[in-house]
């Protein structure tokens, strides 16, 4: 059914790679990935991939540096094994928040990561919900950028919240454009939280622009939840302004550090995230719903492999 298509899953998210394989009805390639005693990574491809169209599935979430280096080593292995084309599939792109010089003497690490992936030998990239869409421009190779919002919206639409009772909240001014897409799909009004970040771990939110939200159901969408400081701060603001119920939607559940503890305590009906990243055992909580993007990624892989349009998947 697929000529020369090979799927390879790194160790970052074996379940997602397996689910994509299941959707496409092709087995994952036989590979061995292990750690040397000193922490270096060893990779061996146990099957011939000469002339194949290879898709390497490896979100670069925590442990970010290990997963990134493993991706680079896998690309190198495929290149040297004479793969015809290598696509790095990054359901989550780590270091995306370091995409500009926002202070003196700081790096642009997203650009460095783009250089590394390209230099290692990737021919193209397939990613989903980059923190900043312009990161695509850091690559001089073809880049397909998927969005999970239709999948999240499908779930929230199933809750049948009347638009006049719905307010969709952007947790900061940087997310307004993204959040407006949800407003278009789900109806409701828009409100924006005024967020100030004091450190990587702490944010301060107080004001709400827009509304009123008194007695309404609030949906807060963020591209990622990392320590959950931003989202929990927004939930607090929504509640202080009289929201009756608060739901949270996110593409990337990074859930690191204090995230689980913060989210467990927050007055949230449900947190809905995609499976772009694996869920760590200690980061589980009761009101978390995971929606799979395996079909979205699988369909994109199928289309890229067959040189069909991928833009159809943006809706």
Where do contacts with ligand R5P occur on this chain (CB under 6 A)? 97, 171-172, 174-175, 203, 222-231
Nearer to ligand R5P, 228 or 294 (CB): 228
Q: Smallest gap, in angstroms, from Cβ of residue 177 to ligand R5P?
A: 12
Nearer to ligand R5P, 86 or 224 (CB): 224
Both tokens assigned to 20: 């994509």
Q: Smallest gap, in angstroms, from Cβ of residue 14 to ligand R5P?
A: 25
3-state secondary structure the chain: CCCCEEEEECCCCHHHHHHHHHHHCCCECCEEEEECCCCCEEEEECCCCCCCEEEEECCCCCCHHHHHHHHHHHHHHHHHCCCCEEEEEECCCCCCCCCCCCCCCCCCHHHHHHHHHHHHCCCEEEEECCCCHHHHHHCCCCEEEECCHHHHHHHHHCCCCCHHHEEEEECCHHHHHHHHHHHHHHCCEEEEEEEEECCCCCEEEEEEEECCCCCCEEEEEEEEECCCHHHHHHHHHHHHCCCCEEEEEEEEECCCCCHHHHHHHCCCCEEEEECCCCCCHHHCCCCEEEECCHHHHHHHHHHHHCCCCCHHHHC
Nearer to ligand R5P, 80 or 202 (CB): 202
Q: Smallest gap, in angstroms, from Cβ of residue 224 to ligand R5P?
A: 5
Q: Smallest gap, in angstroms, from Cβ of residue 222 to ligand R5P?
A: 5
Q: Smallest gap, in angstroms, from Cβ of residue 203 to ligand R5P?
A: 6
Pairing of strands 203-210, 217-225: unpaired
**Positions marked catalytic:** 195
Nearer to ligand R5P, 18 or 132 (CB): 132
Nearer to ligand R5P, 120 or 231 (CB): 231
């Amino acid at each position: 059914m697929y000529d020369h298509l090979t799927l390879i899953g790194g160790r970052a998210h074996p379940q997602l790679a397996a689910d994509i394989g299941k959707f496409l009805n092709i087995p994952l390639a036989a590979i061995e990935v292990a750690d040397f005693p000193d922490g270096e990574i060893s990779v061996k491809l146990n099957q011939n991939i000469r002339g194949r169209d290879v898709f390497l599935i490896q979100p670069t979430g925590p442990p970010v540096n290990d997963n990134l280096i493993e991706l680079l080593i896998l690309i190198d292995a495929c290149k040297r094994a004479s793969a015809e084309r290598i696509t790095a599939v990054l359901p989550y792109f780590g270091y995306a928040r370091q995409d500009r010089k926002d202070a003196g003497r700081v790096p642009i690490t997203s650009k460095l990561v783009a250089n590394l992936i390209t230099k290692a030998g990737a021919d193209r990239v397939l990613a989903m919900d980059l923190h900043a869409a312009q990161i695509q421009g850091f690559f001089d190779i073809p880049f397909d950028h998927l969005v999970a919002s239709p999948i999240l919206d499908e779930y929230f639409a199933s809750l049948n919240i009347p638009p006049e009772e719905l307010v969709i909240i952007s947790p900061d001014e940087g997310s307004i454009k993204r959040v407006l897409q949800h407003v278009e799909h789900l109806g409701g009004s828009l409100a924006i939280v005024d967020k100030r970040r004091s450190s990587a771990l702490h944010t301060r939110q107080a004001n709400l622009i827009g509304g009123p939200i008194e007695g309404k159901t609030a949906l807060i969408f963020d591209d990622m939840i990392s320590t959950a400081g931003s989202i929990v701060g927004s939930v607090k603001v929504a509640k202080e302004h009289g929201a009756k119920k608060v739901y949270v939607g996110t593409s990337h559940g990074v859930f690191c550090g204090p995230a689980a503890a913060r989210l467990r305590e927050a007055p949230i009906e449900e947190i809905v995230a995609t499976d772009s990243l694996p869920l760590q055992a200690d980061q589980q909580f009761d009101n978390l719903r995971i929606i799979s993007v395996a079909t979205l990624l699988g369909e994109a892989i199928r289309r890229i492999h067959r040189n069909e349009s991928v833009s159809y998947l943006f809706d």
